[in-house]
Amino acid sequence: MTRSVLGIVGGSGIYDLPGLEDAQWVTVSSPWGAPSDQVRIGTIDGLKVVFLPRHGRGHVYAPSDINYRANIDVLKRCGVTDLVSVSACGSLKEELAPGTFVLVDQFIDRTIAREKSFFGKGCVAHVSMAFPVSPKLVDSIEKAARAEDLTYRRGGTYLAMEGPQFSSLAESHMYRAWGCDVIGMTNMPEAKLAREAEICYASVAMITDYDSWHPDHGAVDIQTIIKVLHENAGNAQRLVGRLARDLPREHEACPHGSDTALEYAIMTAPDKRDPELLAKLDAVAGRVLNA
């Protein structure tokens, strides 16, 4: 069995988690370029926890400027087996009010300006994204949310938009017609790259306000939104802390194959593979390339 290592990608309210012992900021290099920041590594009740500030400390990277490949690569190099995304989002459903945490299980990717794969010319691979989150990891998150008495809903479709602007009214109505539940800018291509890296992934979408479709959208003042943001950050700390304490210490195999996604995914014949690309794939795909 593989020892569990919990990865968290999110904001400052998460990586300053109380109870994180022996914590230190560590620089991890990646052949895919510079990640958003150093990683903060510590332990909670003996479980190794690795935090990565998605936007960098001080929120220096816009969603389209994040080096998602480097971020996932360094988390893989740190041994992360289970990765939880914690991110702010807008609601596309009346019943999903600000302050609700949605445990996302599906995505629609509307981003257009981001590198979305570790693979390409010289080593082609195709992984399944039919079930993009790991249900056992979501089970653990749901258990933690119940234990902390948080307002949450399990299941929902996350619409990933390019940004940095928010959606127009027409776009917001279209996404609602598609059946989407929440809208954000960061979970793609993050979820796709985690799957390619054989890391179990789950997303906690923290609703801050309603998207532009809602009749009260323009009437919400910034103080109200900031209040919800602070409350969400505090609840996210509680959620992550409880998850870290209760997560099984031996990594459980994913029923949807998140942790074996590359088993039959690489299409390029061994003698046609680009050595330079293979060298960059040492962490992400080493399990199958070195078999």
Residues classed as catalytic: 209, 211
230 annotated binding-site participant: no
Q: Is 1 annotated as a binding residue?
A: no
29 marked among binding-site residues: no
Report how far residue 244's alpha carbon sits from residue 43's, in angstroms, rounded to the nearest whole number. 9
| Omega within 30 of 0 (cis) for the link into 189 | yes
168 labelled binding-site residue? no
Tell me whether residue 140 is annotated as binding: no
Establish whether 185 is an annotated binding residue.
yes
For residue 152, what is the enclosing H or E element?
A: strand 152-154
Write the CB contacts of 218 (distance below 8 Å, at least 6 apart in sequence): none
**CA separation, residue 10 to residues 7, 85, 258, 279, 280 (Å):** 10, 6, 21, 29, 25
65: nearest Cα among 114, 11, 116, 117: 114
Q: Outline where the chain has alpha helix (H).
A: 12-15, 68-77, 135-147, 169-177, 190-196, 222-246, 275-280, 286-289
Q: Is there a binding annotation on residue 211? A: yes
3-state secondary structure 234-281: HHHHHHHHHHHHHCCCECCCCCCCHHHCCCCCECCCHHHCCHHHHHHC
Q: Does 43 belong to an annotated binding site?
A: no
Q: 191 labelled as ligand-binding?
A: no
Q: At what angle do helices 135-147 and 222-246 cross, to 10 degrees?
A: 110
State yes or no: 282 annotated in a binding site: no
Cis peptide before 164 (omega within 30 of 0): yes
* Annotation: binding site: 12, 54-55, 87-88, 185-186, 209-211
Question: Which residues sit in the known binding site for substrate?
Answer: 185, 209-211
Query: Binding site for phosphate: which residues?
Result: 12, 54-55, 87-88, 186
